[in-house]
């Protein structure tokens, strides 16, 4: 259960939107739903604020979360916000890549130097089952504060970072074609079980975008389909499947990346949906994910000028991340940025300012900054100057701690086993599930 979500209300809104949107995935013919009024959001404090008192923090999180927060210095709290890519196949392997990027040679040293909250794994980190288990266990040992959030992008299909080791399950478009939410849930559970066996505790999946434009170059088959209602159902089922496996899930890319022909990896998409269109076309899957208890929601590096006229991408937009996602949809889990090394978020500001503005907009997890030392220093300086208040920093760290607690790894780091993983990865049951999905999608 996500802290602070007004679950019943969100579910009621989601149900209404799904029912209205299920007839079509296109702007011209679906029944309109009046958008909820956005709640006013506070302006970021321009003056330094004091650290919240013990009494003020007492209402935030469980006792274990509050104790973990209280033990951290400001530097450690800032480190918790970052999730970079580290180089190498073992926690203790020296790499020029790490030395050049982070000023520390090994992944373990990078984690310790910056007090990182997490690490994201890419194919360069993946060689074999025993190697990945050793890597994730070693990374956990290097985190001296709280256990690491170890993530990856395992959507299956087109985006499958762990494909060298895990079951070749169909991607979202194939699962969506089955129209069977039970299969969506089972596929997510299978994926989650295999990731957990390798020591990965967060998946940046499912994709909650509605693929409205069939020529979309970045979403396409990564989406469950072009019908908001059916996509919403599949997303909710997938979130539950990841939770069945004990792995945190992430719905992406908010407020919706489905109606564009620009790839945010290389450019800055502009989507001109009105608030009414957004409510009808883009919002239902995210509402459904929130209703299912999704742990995190990832922002999109897209401009929606009808939702925020500033010209800033959603990742840096307080009206979108705080106004829409927090205040209107009621989400109080972790907001993750999309990768900060993508061109879509680097058009207007330097890499340090991007990180600061993302936090001020409402982000909690800063994914893959292109210059971690610069971004870390900028956020730390912003906290010390009061541009980012201590209370705002504590809110983000609290959410990240709560994510760990909900998935069972706040007070003790998970320990993966190569022998146990070998029994789960590419199991006969999971391969049979993959074949069933393929058959049912035709």
- For residue 75, count other CB atoms closer than 10 A to its CB: 13
Instruction: Identify the residue whose tokens are 């998935």.
Output: 407
For residue 147, which phi and psi values (nearest 5 degrees)?
A: -55, 150
Q: Which of 203, 282, 327, 338 is catalytic?
A: 338
Q: Residue 380: enclosing H or E segment and its boundaries?
A: helix 372-385
- Note if the bond before 342 is cis, omega within 30 degrees: no
Q: Residue 366: enclosing H or E segment and its boundaries?
A: strand 366-367
265 is an active site residue: yes
Q: Tokens representing 441?
A: 């999608």
Q: Residue 403: enclosing H or E segment and its boundaries?
A: helix 390-406
Cα dist from 127 to 34, 93, 135, 139, 219, whole Å: 50, 14, 10, 16, 27
26 is an active site residue: no
Q: Tokens representing 161?
A: 């970072």
For residue 336, which phi and psi values (nearest 5 degrees)?
A: -105, 140
User: 27: closest CA among 316, 354, 347, 278?
Assistant: 278
Name residues whose C-beta falls within 8 Å of residue 28's C-beta, 6 or more positions apart in sequence: none
Q: Which of 92, 153, 244, 265 is catalytic?
A: 265
- E runs forming strands in 49-135: 82-83, 118-121
CB 276 within 8 A of CB 34: yes
Query: What is the set of active-site residues?
Result: 265, 338
């Amino acid at each position: 259960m996500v802290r602070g979500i007004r679950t019943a209300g969100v579910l009621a809104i989601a149900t209404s939107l799904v029912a209205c949107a299920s007839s079509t995935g296109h702007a011209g013919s679906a029944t309109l739903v009046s958008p909820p009024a956005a709640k006013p959001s506070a302006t970021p404090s321009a003056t330094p604020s004091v650290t919240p008192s013990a009494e003020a923090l007492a209402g935030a999180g469980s006792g274990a979360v509050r104790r973990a927060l209280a033990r951290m210095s400001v530097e450690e709290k800032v480190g918790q916000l970052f999730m970079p890519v580290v180089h190498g196949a073992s926690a203790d392997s020296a790499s020029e890549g790490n030395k050049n990027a982070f000023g520390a040679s090994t992944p373990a040293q990078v984690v310790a130097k910056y007090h990182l909250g997490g690490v994201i794994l890419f194919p360069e980190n993946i060689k074999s089952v025993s190697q990945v288990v050793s890597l994730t266990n070693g990374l956990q040992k290097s985190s001296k504060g709280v256990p690491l959030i170890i993530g990856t992008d395992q959507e299956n299909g087109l985006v499958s970072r762990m494909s060298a080791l895990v079951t070749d399950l169909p991607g979202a478009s194939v699962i969506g074609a089955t129209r069977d939410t039970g299969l969506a849930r089972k596929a997510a559970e299978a994926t989650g079980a295999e990731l957990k066996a390798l020591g990965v505790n967060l998946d940046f999946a499912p994709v909650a975008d509605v693929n409205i434009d069939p020529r979309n170059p970045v979403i396409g088959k990564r989406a469950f389909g072009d019908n908001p209602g059916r996509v919403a159902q599949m997303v909710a089922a997938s979130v539950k499947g990841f939770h069945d496996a004990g792995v945190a899930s992430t719905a992406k890319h908010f407020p919706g990346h489905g109606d564009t022909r620009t790839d945010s990896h290389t450019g800055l998409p502009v989507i001109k949906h009105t608030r009414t269109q957004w409510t009808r076309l883009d919002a239902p899957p995210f509402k459904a994910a929130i209703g299912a208890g999704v742990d995190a929601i990832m922002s999109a590096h897209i401009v929606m000028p009808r939702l925020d006229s500033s010209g800033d991408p959603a990742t840096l937009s307080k009206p979108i991340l705080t106004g829409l996602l927090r205040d209107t949809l009621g989400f109080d889990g972790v907001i993750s940025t999309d990768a900060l090394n993508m061109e879509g978020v680097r058009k207007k500001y330097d890499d340090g300012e991007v990180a600061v503005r993302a936090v001020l907009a409402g982000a909690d997890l800063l994914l893959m900054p292109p210059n971690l030392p610069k971004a870390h220093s900028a956020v730390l300086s912003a906290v010390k100057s009061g541009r980012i208040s201590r209370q705002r920093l504590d809110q983000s760290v609290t959410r990240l701690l709560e994510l760990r607690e909900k998935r069972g790894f706040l007070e003790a780091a998970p320990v993966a086993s190569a022998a146990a993983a070998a029994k789960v990865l590419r199991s006969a049951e999971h391969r049979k599930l993959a074949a069933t999905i393929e058959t049912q999608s035709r």
